[in-house]
């Protein structure tokens, strides 16, 4: 968030003055405010505590989180979670529409997550890099195939050595994967090799490994 750090600091400064010092009715909203979005009334699950532990090992400047961080991250995980047995939409139009809807909603949630975190100083990571870190943890490590939240020591090791993140500093999005897979399908049709039917999201996740 090196690209938005100064903006976040200004928002924090104005919010503290207008909301908590001058008690104005109209004030600058700060998603990272620990007073407005305190966590005293909610129970922070172990899954999030583990997430935060790993996140801080990658984003060293991350200092604190609040209710926004917790709830919006949970919403993002639920939004983007796909069952490995769920059919991958065969219609390109339907597929694009579904991906675009999820992408837009996900971007809004992740924007709040990034802005809800307070940083002790300017990070080397840009906003898009921090979002990539959150996505890697959320989409690949927090939910097990049985829809249980897990983040064990082995997962931590795998994340910190994530080839895709370390190599490209971002992760391949579903829409980009969709484009690459469409090209692959077209090539198979041209050589009259095979026809792929009932593509599941589990298959797509495995194919992604070979596209990077």
Q: Measuring CA to CA, which residue among 105, 44, 112, 51 is closest to residue 80?
A: 105
As a whole number, mean pLDDT of residues 28-55 equals: 92
Residue 201's pLDDT band, with cuts at 50, 70 and 90, is low
Residue 196 has pLDDT above 90, yes or no: no
Residue 70's pLDDT band, with cuts at 50, 70 and 90, is very high
Higher-scoring residue by pLDDT: 26, 197: 26
Q: Are 151 and 51 in contact (CB under 8 A)?
A: yes
Q: What is the DSSP letter of 141?
A: I
Residue in this structure with the two tokens 């924090």, named with its chain if needed? 12
Q: What is the pLDDT of residues 150-185, one digit of tens each?
A: 665 666 666 677 666 666 666 666 556 666 667 776
As a whole number, mean pLDDT of residues 50-68 equals: 92
Give the C-alpha separation, 193 to 159, whole Å. 36
Higher-scoring residue by pLDDT: 188, 204: 188
Supply the pLDDT for residue 138: 78
Give the C-alpha separation, 104 to 55, whole Å. 23
C-alpha pair distances (Å), 157 with each of 11, 21, 97? 35, 44, 36
Supply the pLDDT for residue 97: 77
Supply the pLDDT for residue 62: 96
Supply the pLDDT for residue 186: 73
Q: Is 27 exposed, middle or buried (0-12, 13-18, 19+ CB in 10 A)?
A: middle
Supply the pLDDT for residue 155: 60
Supply the pLDDT for residue 146: 63
As a whole number, mean pLDDT of residues 181-201 equals: 66
Angle between helices 201-211 and 174-190 (to 10 degrees): 90
Residue 66 makes CB contacts below 8 A (sequence gap 6+) with 32, 33, 34, 37, 38, 39, 116
Q: Are 135 and 50 in contact (CB under 8 A)?
A: no
Mean per-residue pLDDT of the chain: 79
Residue 75's pLDDT band, with cuts at 50, 70 and 90, is very high
At 142 the three-state DSSP class reads helix
């Amino acid at each position: 968030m090196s690209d938005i750090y100064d903006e976040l600091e200004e928002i924090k400064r104005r919010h503290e003055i207008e909301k908590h010092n001058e008690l104005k009715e109209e004030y600058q909203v700060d998603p990272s405010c620990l007073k407005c979005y305190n966590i005293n009334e909610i129970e922070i699950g172990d899954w999030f505590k583990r997430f935060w532990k790993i996140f801080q090992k990658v984003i060293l400047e991350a200092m604190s989180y609040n209710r926004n961080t917790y709830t919006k991250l949970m919403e993002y995980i639920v939004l983007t979670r796909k069952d490995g047995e769920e059919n991958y939409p065969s219609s390109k139009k339907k597929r694009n529409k579904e991906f675009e809807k999820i992408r837009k909603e996900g971007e809004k949630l992740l924007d709040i997550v990034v802005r809800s975190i307070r940083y002790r100083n300017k990070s080397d990571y840009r906003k898009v890099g921090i979002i990539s870190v959150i996505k890697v943890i959320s989409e690949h490590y927090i939910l097990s195939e049985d829809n249980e939240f897990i983040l064990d020591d082995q997962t931590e090791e795998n994340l910190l050595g994530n080839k895709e993140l370390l190599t490209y500093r971002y992760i391949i999005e579903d829409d980009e994967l969709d484009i690459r897979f469409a090209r692959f399908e077209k090539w198979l049709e041209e050589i009259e090799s095979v026809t792929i039917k009932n593509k599941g999201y589990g298959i797509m996740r495995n194919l992604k490994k070979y596209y990077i």
